[in-house]
Amino acid sequence: MKRKEVNSARIPIYRDAGFELYDAETTAEAFRKETEHHRESENYIYSRYRNPTVVSAEEEIMKLEGCNWALLTQSGMSAIDTALSIFQIGKNIRPWLFFTEIYGGTISFIESVLKNRRGLDIQYFTPDNSNYDLAKLEHVLADLKPELLYIETISNPMLIVADVENIMRIARKYGAKVIIDNTFATPYLYKPLSTGVDLAIHSATKYFSGHGNLSAGVVCGNDVKMMQSAIEYRKFIGHMISPDDAYRLQTQILTFELRFSRQCDNASKLAVYLKNIPFIKEVWFPGNKNHPTHHIAEKLFGGKGYGGMITFNFDGKDKDQKRSRRDKFIKLVSEKIKLIPTLGDAHTILMPVEAVWGTKYPEPGMIRLSVGFEEYRELEGIVSKALAKV
Ligand code: PLP
């Protein structure tokens, strides 16, 4: 059958594994151009290298992050691997410095792949009192002179907001590149590349996709050389997202700001509500005035919101009572608020912190909520009904 242009306003899902290159001359030119690692191709070669549906979805993310380039990968973890690995040139590199308050999967990747398999010099920086002590950070940077510093805009599960502008200033002074995981804040609240951060990564599985139905990651940046390295790494390691997932992500991302702004509003209201429950001991939410990094959240997010995550813990006379309140609550809300180990879903979902993080956070009654974009009154109704029985 002869193919023809159709009057569709959408980018098709190009499911080609390899693209037609017609003749030897076009093939030679396509492969020559491929060595230059352009973001787009005049002649696509092979979907693991680059794919037009993927490029189109990447352009939506570039608009959101306000950056020169964005590269999609099959998961947040492959985006993290890509962003970090482009700085691993040979064996003699300076240490890499990571904040300890980052996603647990990233810590596991650092320990098991970067440290144990690749033998890299990995160093950590631990916050004091749920805040980042910048004077201490400066000492560490001066001492280690690391190649790179890796942080998250909003940490997990304590929701510590990083003072990105000041961290950047110190990192630059000591010649460290900075990579930031902006998954929890999203570009709706903060665009780290505008502060000069070298690379921003996202688990697009979360708020960008927004419906808990696909796995994707993205590396965003402005520097062309870093883009070329990242394109090359993604191609050789095979971290490329599938065109089907890129298409679905591109469709779902069109409603990202609508969804996320509502999630921020819902979370702000629910955090206030939870604070007034007598047997809830603490509520960690960057919008609450008593959160240790509330002032940084105000500065960075300009009052637009504080994210869609809330961590709180049940009080009790001992650990058993705290656990029992937690478990009762989880059971009572389970029809509407499900225990699902992800975040950024359409509906509110939860995780018991102790079951995932073990003893890292000593309060056993802790629950992490990922607030959805359902109608707020309905959400508060479900929570209040359960709390009345707890
Ligand atoms: N970064 C953060 C902050 C996360 O929470 C996660 C996953 O939960 C990841 C990265 C990894 O993303 P993915 O699960 O899409 O690989």
- Residue 76 CA to ligand 1 centre (angstroms): 5
Q: Work out which ligand 1 atom sits closest to the CA atom of 80.
A: 10
Closest residue by Cα to atom 1, ligand 1, is 203
- Residue 69 CA to ligand 1 centre (angstroms): 21
- The C-alpha atoms of residue 182 and residue 301 are separated, in whole angstroms, by 13
The Cβ of residue 22 has, within 10 Å, a number of other Cβ atoms equal to 10
Q: Which pTM was predicted? A: 0.97
Closest residue by Cα to atom 15, ligand 1, is 76
What's the chain's Rg over C-alpha atoms?
Answer: 22
Q: What is the CATH number of domain 24-253?
A: 3.40.640.10
| DSSP reduced 3-state for 272 | helix
Q: Work out which ligand 1 atom sits closest to the CA atom of 156.
A: 3
- Residue 103 CA to ligand 1 centre (angstroms): 7
The Cβ of residue 164 has, within 10 Å, a number of other Cβ atoms equal to 24
Per-residue pLDDT of the chain (390 residues; tens, 9 = 90+): 566 788 999 999 999 999 999 999 999 999 999 999 999 999 999 999 999 999 999 999 999 999 999 999 999 999 999 999 999 988 778 999 999 999 999 999 999 999 999 999 999 999 886 788 999 999 999 999 999 999 999 999 999 999 999 999 999 999 999 999 999 999 999 999 999 999 999 999 999 999 999 999 999 999 999 999 999 999 999 999 999 999 999 999 999 999 999 999 999 999 999 999 999 999 999 999 999 999 999 999 999 999 999 999 999 999 999 999 999 999 999 999 999 999 999 999 999 999 998 888 889 999 999 999 999 999 999 999 999 999
- Residue 215 CA to ligand 1 centre (angstroms): 9
- Residue 203 CA to ligand 1 centre (angstroms): 5
105 lines ligand 1 (CB under 6 A): yes
- The predicted structure's pLDDT at residue 359: 86
- The predicted structure's pLDDT at residue 3: 67
Q: Could you tell me which CATH class the domain 256-389 is placed in? A: alpha beta
- Residue 388 CA to ligand 1 centre (angstroms): 34
Residue 166 identity (one-letter amino acid): N
Q: Measured between alpha carbons, how far is residue 324 from residues 258, 267, 333, 344, 353 in Å?
A: 37, 25, 14, 27, 14
215 lines ligand 1 (CB under 6 A): yes
- Residues with Cβ within 8 Å of 366's Cβ and at least 6 positions away in sequence, in order, are 157, 311, 312, 313, 314, 326, 352, 353, 354
Closest residue by Cα to atom 12, ligand 1, is 76
What residue ranges do the domains of the chain occupy?
Answer: 24-253, 256-389
Do the two domains 24-253 and 256-389 of this chain adopt the same fold? Answer: no
